[in-house]
Amino acid sequence: MFKDVKAKDILTIPNILSIFRIVLIVPFVYFFLKENYVLAAAALIISGLTDACDGFVARTFNQVTELGKMLDPIADKLTLIAIMVCITIFTPIVLPVMIILILKDVVMIIGGSRLMKTGINPPAAKWYGKAGTFVFYVSVCLIVFLKAAFNYENPVLSVTLLSITCAIMIFALIKYFMIYKSLLKNADSATETETKE
C-alpha cells in the first residue's frame, strides 16, 4: 500500500515533465556546441513550454508533491547553468552577468538546504521566479535565433537582454529571501513555544 502511494506521488505528470526538462539539457548542450543553433533553440523552447506547463498541471489537477517542489527548481537551475555556460562560450562578453546569475542560484540553493536541515520544506516556485526563468528563455532564444537565422551577433543586445533578466532574478531573490526569513522566524517562534511548554 505504502509503495503504491509512493510510486503515485513520484509518477505525476508535473514530476515527469520536470525530469524531461533535465533530460533535454543534454541535446541542448550537444546541438549548441555543434553550432546547430536551430535544434538547440528547439530543445530550449520545448523545455520552456514544459516548464510553463508543469506548474499549471500540478495546481489544476492537484498533483503538487514534495518531490515536485524540489524537482522543479532543480530542473530550472540545471537548465540555466547549462545555458549560462553555452552562452558564455558563445558570447564571452556576457560573463559578468552570468556570474551574478550563478551567485543568485548558489545563494538560493544554500538557503533551501538550510531550510531542509531545520525540517522546513522550501517554498514552491513563485510567479516572480517563473517570470525570471521565462525572460531568460526568451532572451537566450532570441540571441540563438539571430545567430542561427541571420548569423547576427550583437554583444550590446546580448548584455542588455541578460541584464534585464538579471534584474528580474535579483528581484525574485529578494522576494524569496523575505520568505526564507519569515519561515525561519516562524520555526524559531514555534521552537521557543515548545520549549516554554
Nearest-angstrom CA–CA distance, 122 and 142? 32
What's the pLDDT band for 2 if we cut at 50, 70, 90? very low
Nearest-angstrom CA–CA distance, 191 and 137? 42
CB 44 within 8 A of CB 141: yes
Q: Which of 194, 132, 121 is nearest to 163 (CA)?
A: 132
- Cell numbers placing 75: 530542473
Nearest-angstrom CA–CA distance, 134 and 97? 17
Q: What's the Cα-to-Cα distance from 130 to each of 16, 49, 73, 124, 146, rounded to whole Å?
A: 18, 12, 10, 11, 24
**pLDDT > 90: percent of the chain:** 5
The yes-or-no verdict on residue 197 having pLDDT over 60 is: no
More confident of the two residues 74 and 133: 74
* pLDDT tens string 31-60: 988 888 888 888 988 888 887 777 667 666
The yes-or-no verdict on residue 26 having pLDDT over 90 is: yes
CA dihedral 105, 90, 28, 160 (to 10 degrees): 50
CB 132 within 8 A of CB 169: yes
More confident of the two residues 65 and 17: 17
What's the pLDDT band for 5 if we cut at 50, 70, 90? very low
pTM attached to this predicted model: 0.61
Instruction: Give the lowest-confidence range in 9-18, 28-37, 51-60, 145-154.
Output: 51-60
Gyration radius (Cα) of the chain, Å? 19
Nearest-angstrom CA–CA distance, 55 and 155? 34
Nearest-angstrom CA–CA distance, 170 and 157? 20
End-to-end CA distance of the chain: 37
pLDDT at position 36 is: 87
Nearest-angstrom CA–CA distance, 61 and 74? 22
* pLDDT tens string 58-71: 666 665 666 667 78
Nearest-angstrom CA–CA distance, 168 and 162? 10
* pLDDT tens string 170-183: 888 888 888 888 88
Instruction: Give the lowest-confidence range in 14-23, 38-47, 55-64, 128-137.
Output: 55-64
